[in-house]
């Protein structure tokens, strides 16, 4: 069965302490891998789409990378405003069906 | 301007009641979705409509019925509510995938969610 697994479940960082989140997946035909950020009480906010192994995308302190079996979201020198739950999702098929992981809750303390 | 909006934001109701959640998007997207996020924060797709046509229909009790009056609106009606229906329901929309050529991608834009509590 196709699966998306994120680790760790939770991550507590000091401001400025860089770290990485992992998203491993087993799908038969990857159409795209997506990273979202979700703040408490809000809907997920789109961050990145990655299509093929070796691809990288950056936005401010976030950088997403993709291999054939996993994706990493690197947070460089995080700030408290980077605190959120980061969700990974993979697309199966052509009609936009996304399968989400359980997320990694990140807390950045000053 | 709100891109994807949902009403109501909170819904508290008794078991057995029927309720509806409304969703509207002003992004000009052709595809809309309903997701359920349970207490463990897993987001699971329930339905998807493309140009008012149902294209994804996951294993969801038939008490849940989506309705799309036009491509900017996708409403969710739930009959005979049960305790297990308590969750946060998110609406989302994305651009028509048919225009994307070989690469079909799916940047979905989510609404703020509707927290449903069934007592």
The answer to whether B72 touches B26, Cβ cutoff 8 Å, is yes
Which of B45, B105, B107 has the CB atom closest to A97's CB atom? Answer: B45
Q: Give the pLDDT band of residue B103 (cuts 50, 70, 90).
A: very low
- Residue A2 is predicted with a pLDDT of 60
Interchain contact, B56 vs A98, CB within 8 Å:
no
Helix, coil or strand: residue B98: helix
Please determine, for residue B102, whether its predicted confidence score (pLDDT) is greater than 70. no
Comparing CB atoms, the residue among A34, A44, A95 nearest residue B48 is A95
pLDDT tens figures, A51-100: 889 999 999 999 999 998 999 999 999 999 999 999 999 987 666 788 99
DSSP notation for chain A: --EEEEE-SEEEEETT--EEEEEEEE-SSEEEEEEEEE-TTS--EEEEEE-STT-EEEETTEEEEE-SSEEEEEE-S--GGG-EEEEEEEEETTTTEEEE---EEEEEE-
CA distance B69 to chain A (A): 20
Instruction: Give residue A16's Cα distance to chain centre.
Output: 19
CB contact under 8 A, A34 and B107: yes
Count of positions (residues) in chain B: 119
Q: How many structural domains comprise chain A?
A: 1
Query: What pLDDT does residue A87 have?
Result: 97
Name every chain B residue with its beta carbon within 8 A of the beta carbon of A32.
103-106
Check which CATH number belongs to the domain holding A66 and give it: 2.60.40.10
Instruction: Check if the beta carbon of residue A87 is closer than 8 Å to that of residue A105.
Output: no
Domain B4-96 superfamily per CATH: Immunoglobulins (2.60.40.10)
The whole-number pLDDT of residue A94 equals 63
């Amino acid at each position: 069965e196709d699966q998306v697994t994120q680790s760790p479940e939770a991550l507590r960082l000091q401001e400025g302490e860089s770290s990485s989140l992992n998203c491993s997946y087993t799908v038969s035909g990857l159409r795209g891998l997506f990273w979202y950020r979700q703040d408490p009480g809000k809907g997920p906010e789109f961050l990145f789409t990655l299509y093929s192994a070796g691809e990288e995308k950056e936005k401010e302190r976030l950088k997403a990378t993709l291999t054939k079996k996993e994706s990493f979201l690197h947070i460089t020198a995080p700030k408290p405003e980077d605190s959120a739950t980061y969700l990974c999702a993979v697309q199966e098929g052509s009609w936009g069906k996304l399968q989400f992981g359980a997320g990694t809750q990140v807390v950045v303390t000053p | 301007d709100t891109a994807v909006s949902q009403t109501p934001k909170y819904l508290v109701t008794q078991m057995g009641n029927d309720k509806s959640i409304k969703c509207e998007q002003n992004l000009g997207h052709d595809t809309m979705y309903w997701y359920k996020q349970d207490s463990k924060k897993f987001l699971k797709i329930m339905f998807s409509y493309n140009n008012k046509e149902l294209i994804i229909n996951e294993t969801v009790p038939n008490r849940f019925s989506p309705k799309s009056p036009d491509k900017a609106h996708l409403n969710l009606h739930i009959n005979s509510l049960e305790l297990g229906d308590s969750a946060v329901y998110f609406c989302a929309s994305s651009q028509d995938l048919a225009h994307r050529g070989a690469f079909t991608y799916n940047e979905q834009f989510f609404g703020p969610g509707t927290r449903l509590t069934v007592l």
